[in-house]
Structure 1
Amino acid sequence: MNGTREPVRRVAIVGTGVIGASWAAHFLARGLEVVATDPSPGAEDRVRADVVAHWPTLTRAGLAEGASPDRLAFTSDPETAVADADFVQESGPEREDVKRALFAVLDAAARPDTVIASSSSGLAATAIARDCAVRPERVLIGHPFNPPHLIPLVEVVPGERTGEHAVSRAMAFYAAVGKRPILVRRELPGHIANRLQAALWREAYSLVDRGVATVRDIDTAIAYGPGLRWALLGPFANQHLSGGPGGIAHVLEHLGPPTEAWWRDLGDPSLTPDLAAKLVAGVDDMLDGMTVDELASRRDALLHALLVLKAEAGLP
């Protein structure tokens, strides 16, 4: 793989579930050709329907020149899908054995200069690439945040054998299609964003389990409290603002000790059947009959509006 490369024009989507279909819609909206593959019965009809469902939101966000759902092709054969692709985005089942076998096939079929990225939310590229015998140095994680056609974050995580050329190419490609890629410098289960979420879920589950708050209380506390600020600035920038003229240095000096005391008091719940039942019942009560599709539609409309405002404001 040399340093001179043609721009990405054709992307292969391997796996067309919720994440894969969302990726397909995003790449199509950026004016790219997409060839999707999935062995599941009815996969082609589902991915085409999903792209059509996402298209109004993407149209409001602004389409690139040449963007069209008609540029989506489908094949049930993964080798055919990746053979002429400039970039591969895999979104198959979150199982290491499945991904290892699949990536061995993709590695053998894709062009030598094609980066193969996995959307895996927690697996390591090192493990996924273990059976790749051709070019394991072009395998990495390109983990999006759901839904990928709206949320800009992509976590790029190289494995032990991933080359710098693949990392730089992936970072550049994701940025070129409107994403905000970050480089994860060390492989950890869950990468970065999911680990941060898991820390919050851990305490949220504990508070419900201990009877401190209901599911509705927890969601209200986040959605109408810190979540509003987190949608605009990250945790460190928000802490910096909390410190007034002294910034984050003042916060760390004066609120550091009580924060450490809170850390020591955080819960350590087990996801027992009883706790799971409480969480499911709490969500059902909170949504009061609202369907998943209704909730997702309202969320996506607000996400689009928020992203427009953030871009206009020039926030980091």
Structure 2
Amino acid sequence: MSQRLAVIGTGVIGNGWIARALSRGWDVVAFDPDPEAPVRTRAFVAGAWGSLEKLGLAEGASPERLTFVDSLEAAVAGADLIQENVPERLPLKQEILAAIDAAAEDQVVIGSSTSGFKPSDLQLNCTRAPGRVVVAHPFNPVYLLPLVELVGGEATEPVQVERARALYQALAMRPLVVRREIEGHIADRLMEALWREALHLVNDGVATTEEIDAAVVYGCGLRWSLMGTFLTFHLAGGEQGMRHMLEQFGPALKLPWTRLEAPELTDELIDRVVEGCEHQAAGRPVAELDRRRDDFLVALLDLVQKYWPEAEGLEGRI
């Protein structure tokens, strides 16, 4: 018997969940108050399907297994998993999650795609079974990138987190259970730190957007895609590993190389960033850049799958 995903909100992230679930042979029921949502979503899925075919479709996978309904209550009825993707405004998310919680059966996991809010805040107005409301934060494009950060709130029991983990694994995701709730979770906090420094470098005239992106693509990004941050630095210590690296380079952490505060987004800085990105895009529309990104990610995912985590014996830990 196929599983069913209910998707509430069909922007870029919601549509990404839809495409992924369809590719895994799930039925998807979606609700979005925008009357143009069905057309937009079906076009999105059609655009993503070629990349999903390259990765490999599950038996029974089909875009035809998507249904739009005209109410939130109809969407969540009979769902095995519910994914909320409304705009990142806490009062709105609390309102929608409370409505989902009231309508859905008690045991059904409700995941929020929030990139920053803590699950305890999201659970605040839920009265039926608040513990099953968890953060399930994916990464764009959701239909290709496998990481999903799972975070339980104050009302969440371990069994509910484990139930969520199993469901997202069934969607071919790599669930990362965050040990305690914190704004921004893990990955976004790391990306925001790099983003702040990048903005300072542009603002101070040190580098252009293209030069900064090249530094990531041809330098640290290549290593990070295989080893992440800590194992990369472990190798920097030579045969003695991380301990030697910290002894050698640890004192440099106290040097004022980086800035914790983001620069003020002045009109001048905004213009520099926008003009830099438009130069990099070289007149190519976003849809073309999306396809280029997806083709690259499909090839890269094959390579990552070859070398990590299986070769490191980490399968099943995330």
- SS of the residue corresponding to residue 306 of structure 1 reads helix
Alignment match, 1:26: 20
Q: TM-score, normalised by structure 1?
A: 0.94
Deviations 1:270-301 (A, max 9, x none): 22222112111111122221211111110110
1:146 aligns with 2:145: no
1:294 aligns with 2:318: no
Amino acid at match of 2:25: G
Does the CA contact (< 8 Å) of 1:16 and 1:47 recur in 2? yes
Provide closer, same or farther for how the CA distance between residues 13 and 94 of structure 1 changes in structure 2, counting only shifts above 3 A: same
Amino acid at match of 1:13: V
Does the CA contact (< 8 Å) of 2:226 and 2:307 recur in 1? no
Q: 2:172 aligns with which of 169, 178, 182?
A: 178
**Mapping for residues 249-288 of structure 1, pairs under 5 Å:** 249-263=243-257, 268-288=262-282
Does the CA contact (< 8 Å) of 2:197 and 2:259 recur in 1? no
Counterpart-to-counterpart distance in 2, 1:9 and 1:78: 18
**Mapping for residues 80-99 of structure 1, pairs under 5 Å:** 80-99=74-93
Amino acid at match of 2:300: L
1:198 aligns with 2:192: yes
- SS of the residue corresponding to residue 111 of structure 2 reads strand
Counterpart-to-counterpart distance in 2, 1:49 and 1:115: 28
Does the CA contact (< 8 Å) of 2:2 and 2:27 recur in 1? no
Aligned-residue CA RMSD in angstroms?
1.5
Counterpart-to-counterpart distance in 2, 1:262 and 1:17: 40
How far did 1:38 drift?
0.5
Alignment match, 1:4: none
How far did 1:175 drift?
1.9
**Mapping for residues 207-218 of structure 1, pairs under 5 Å:** 207-218=201-212
Alignment match, 1:76: 70
How far did 1:130 drift?
1.1
* Number of equivalent positions: 310
Alignment match, 2:301: 307
Q: 1:163 aligns with which of 157, 161, 185?
A: 157
Alignment match, 2:238: 244
Does the CA contact (< 8 Å) of 1:207 and 1:267 recur in 2? no
Counterpart-to-counterpart distance in 1, 2:260 and 2:95: 40
Provide closer, same or farther for how the CA distance between residues 264 and 68 of structure 1 changes in structure 2, counting only shifts above 3 A: closer
Deviates more, 1:94-103 or 1:159-168: 159-168
Alignment match, 1:17: 11
How far did 1:267 drift?
6.6
Counterpart-to-counterpart distance in 2, 1:57 and 1:38: 25
Q: 2:223 aligns with which of 216, 225, 229?
A: 229
Counterpart-to-counterpart distance in 2, 1:43 and 1:266: 39
Counterpart-to-counterpart distance in 2, 1:262 and 1:66: 56
Provide closer, same or farther for how the CA distance between residues 77 and 267 of structure 1 changes in structure 2, counting only shifts above 3 A: closer
Deviations 1:161-188 (A, max 9, x none): 1222221111122123211111112222
Counterpart-to-counterpart distance in 1, 2:88 and 2:74: 22
Please list every run of 5 or more consecutive structure 2 residues that lacks an aligned counterpart in the other structure: 313-318
Amino acid at match of 2:57: L
- SS of the residue corresponding to residue 28 of structure 2 reads strand
Deviations 1:77-122 (A, max 9, x none): 1111001101101111111111111111101111111000000111
Counterpart-to-counterpart distance in 1, 2:293 and 2:130: 38
Does the CA contact (< 8 Å) of 2:83 and 2:112 recur in 1? yes
Counterpart-to-counterpart distance in 1, 2:86 and 2:262: 31
Counterpart-to-counterpart distance in 1, 2:227 and 2:150: 21
Does the CA contact (< 8 Å) of 1:206 and 1:267 recur in 2? no
- SS of the residue corresponding to residue 34 of structure 1 reads strand
Alignment match, 2:103: 109
Counterpart-to-counterpart distance in 2, 1:64 and 1:54: 15
Does the CA contact (< 8 Å) of 1:118 and 1:142 recur in 2? yes
Counterpart-to-counterpart distance in 2, 1:50 and 1:267: 37
Does the CA contact (< 8 Å) of 1:8 and 1:86 recur in 2? no
Does the CA contact (< 8 Å) of 1:140 and 1:157 recur in 2? yes
Amino acid at match of 2:190: L
- SS of the residue corresponding to residue 166 of structure 1 reads helix
Counterpart-to-counterpart distance in 2, 1:265 and 1:138: 38
Does the CA contact (< 8 Å) of 1:8 and 1:87 recur in 2? no
Counterpart-to-counterpart distance in 1, 2:212 and 2:95: 41
Q: TM-score, normalised by structure 2?
A: 0.94
Alignment match, 2:316: none
